[in-house]
Every structure is written in structure tokens, then in C-alpha cells.
Copies of this chain bind each other. A is one copy, B any other.
Amino acid sequence: MTDMRKKLYEVIFKADTPSGKAFDVVLIICIVISVGVVMLESVAQIRQNYKTPLVAAEWFFTILFTIEYILRLYCVPSKLKYARSFFGVIDLLSIIPTYLSMIPGVRILRVIRILRVLRIFRVLKLGNHTRQADILRQALYASRQKISVFLCFVLTLVVIIGALMYSIEGPPRENTGFTSIPVSIYWAVVTLTTVGYGDISPQTPAGQFLAAIVMLLGYSIIAVPTGIVTAQIAHDTHKNQIPCPNCKTKKHDSDAVFCKKCGAQLNQCE
């Protein structure tokens, strides 16, 4: 019995064995199709014309994922730890909305099923892209303080710009998009990030002048987050990944001859 659980655990959670890999491939296909079904269901015309096959597919995948969830719960060593883990919660959120939809009046909840798409990362974690993803994650993690300082600065800026623009373009002037400070702040974000929908745009010369300054400002400060992340990635990418033979420290400069932590000589037999 324990043997079967162990084997099931290896098939479902690992990707070392041929059957484990096959399970992952099938799972990815099921996830992609089921997410596609959720998307198609939201298109009014398709929902009306293909109601029966969509409902059938939805229940098919829900039951499949339910079985998978039960099997995962069954074969995992610590059930509680799995159920509380990030992917455990996602697994549950992927199936619950369909069951809840049998109770009338819970339309919005059905959208939660789209979170199934996150389950793809469970499988990708096992691929050989891990190292690259790690470099990106570490670069973002190492930059988190700089980025939060920057975002804090940007948020303050858009509040002030929004208020300024509201006092220039806003009421008592009529037929203007700048109807309130929150809407003007929304405009400031749209402009500073160079998205520029154009649903709200300044009409007065003074407003257009201020907007032009905000754009040139945005053009300049877009450089800051890019600079932060680039400097970090450039720093991390081309480090020597061979650990120090003495203290196992990694991430030496590529021209390093001695370990930066313990001073031992590095054998760069690369």
C-alpha cells in the first residue's frame, strides 16, 4: 500500500521517471484546454451556440482535476502542508467554482477557474528553465528595495500631478475628462507610464503644456527601473558559477583568482 503511494507520489510530483514526465505532459495539455474552455465560454456568441459541449468539457476537466486533487492529497506525506501550500490552494480554486455554480447566483465566482493557468508553473518548475528563471527572480528580489523606493516616488508624483491637472482642466470647466482628483491621478498614471489611452486628454493650452512636461518626465524616469534591473541582471548573469573549493561560496567575478570570502585560490579549470 505504502509502495503504491510512493510510486504515485513520484509520478504526480516528480519528473525524473518516464511516467512522471508523461503525467506532466498530459497535465499541461489538460490545463491549457480547460483554460481555453473558460475563455471561450465568456464569448457570448460561442456560449449560446455551443452550450452543451462547453458544459460537458467543463465538467470533464473539473472531475479530472478533482480526481487529481484527491490523489495528490492521498499520496503526499503531509496532507495539511500540501493543502495550505500555494499550489494546493490553486488546485482547490481550480475545481470549487464549477461545483459552486450548481448553486444559483454565483456567476462571478466562475471566473476564478482561470487561476488554473497558474498550475502550469507547477510543471514548468521541473523543466530546465529553472536556472534562468532563478536569475530573473533573484535579480528582481535583489532590486525589490530600489523598486519600492521608486514606486513610492512615482505614486507621490502622480498624486501631485493629478491634483495639479484637476485644478487646471477640472470643474467648473465642463465636458472635460478630469472630473475628480482620483480620475486625474488615473490620467497621470496612464500618461507617465506612456500607455496613453486617450480616453482622457487635456484640452486647454495650459493642460497640454503640463501634459508635455509630464511625458518628458515619464520618458526620463522610465530609465530608472530599467537601470535598476539591468544593473542587477548584468551583475548576476556573468558571474562564475563554480564554487570555491574551500568554502563553497559561489558568484565570484569571472576574473577572480582568489575566493572573495575565504581568500582560498579558485581552480578555474573552465
Contact = CB atoms under 8 A, between A and B. Distances in A.
Interface of A: 35, 38-40, 42-44, 108, 111, 114-115, 117-118, 120-121, 124, 129, 132-133, 135-136, 139-140, 145-152, 154, 156, 159-160, 163-164, 166-167, 170-171, 179-183, 185-186, 189-199, 201, 205, 208-209, 211-212, 215-216, 218-220, 222-235, 237-238, 249-265
Nearest to A110: B167
A168 B95 CA distance: 21
Chief secondary structure at chain A's binding surface = helix
27 contacts: A39-B182, A44-B171, A114-B163, A129-B148, A140-B224, A154-B219, A186-B212, A190-B196, A194-B195, A197-B198, A198-B199, A219-B222, A219-B225, A222-B226, A223-B228, A224-B229, A227-B231, A227-B234, A230-B231, A230-B233, A235-B238, A251-B255, A252-B260, A255-B260, A257-B262, A258-B258, A263-B265
Nearest to A171: B44
Nearest to A144: B132
Within the oligomer, what is the number of copies of this chain? Answer: 4
Contact of A183 (B170, B171, B208): B208
Nearest to A257: B261
A38 B255 CA distance: 50
